[in-house]
A and B are shown apart, each in its own frame.
Chain A
Amino acid sequence: MKLPVVFVPLLIFISLQSGCSPTVKIEPPDKPIVINLNVKIEHEIKIKVDKELDNLIENEQLF
């Protein structure tokens, strides 16, 4: 069986199309993802220390 000449570029086109099907590549970063929560932790510590010091300076023997 002989293909008509018009089909030849069509076949080439289709095979090329499937050959480079679009892929979305998501690469994970090589460094670990860091979320900085220091601000919140520092704030919490400050509140806790604040409270303890408030109690401490009430002590007439010390302050």
Chain B
Amino acid sequence: MKHSLSVLVLCGLFVSILLSTDVHAITLQQAKSTAVVGEQTNGYLGIIKPSVEVEALVKDVNSKRQQHYQRIAQKNGISTEDVAKLAAEKAIAAADKGHAYQNKQGEWQIK
């Protein structure tokens, strides 16, 4: 009886781990190559085809990006926005074929 209970608990844990990883099932590279997300001109990722998992991914990536931008900005005594804009230029220039990016008019384009 005690044994079967612990097995049940373990199974429950396993299922919850599976479910939690399922939320992050889509990776950034997958999202980029399917043009679900794209590079904006402000240095952050934008959502093109919204879904729960995409929104979670973009939120996570953008907050990490912001931390890095802030670190670089403080180190060099310039604004975070300026660093972000420079990053956008680089990211858009380095984007692979099939990846989406925002042009200067703010429209989505596929490279």
**Cross-chain pair count, CB within 8 angstroms:** 38
A contacts with B, residue count (CB < 8 A): 13
The answer for the CA separation of A60 and B75 in the assembled complex, in Å, is 23
Cβ contact within 8 Å between B91 and A63: yes
Nearest B-chain residue to A48, judged by Cβ: B76
With contacts A57-B90, A60-B29 known, is A52 near B72, CB below 8 A?
yes
A45 interface hit (Cβ, 8 Å): yes
A49 touches B76 (CB 8 A): yes
Interface hits, A24-53 → B, CB 8 Å: 45, 48-50, 52-53
CB nearest neighbor in B for A51: B72
- Measured in the bound complex, the distance between the Cα atoms of B87 and A52 in whole Å is 10
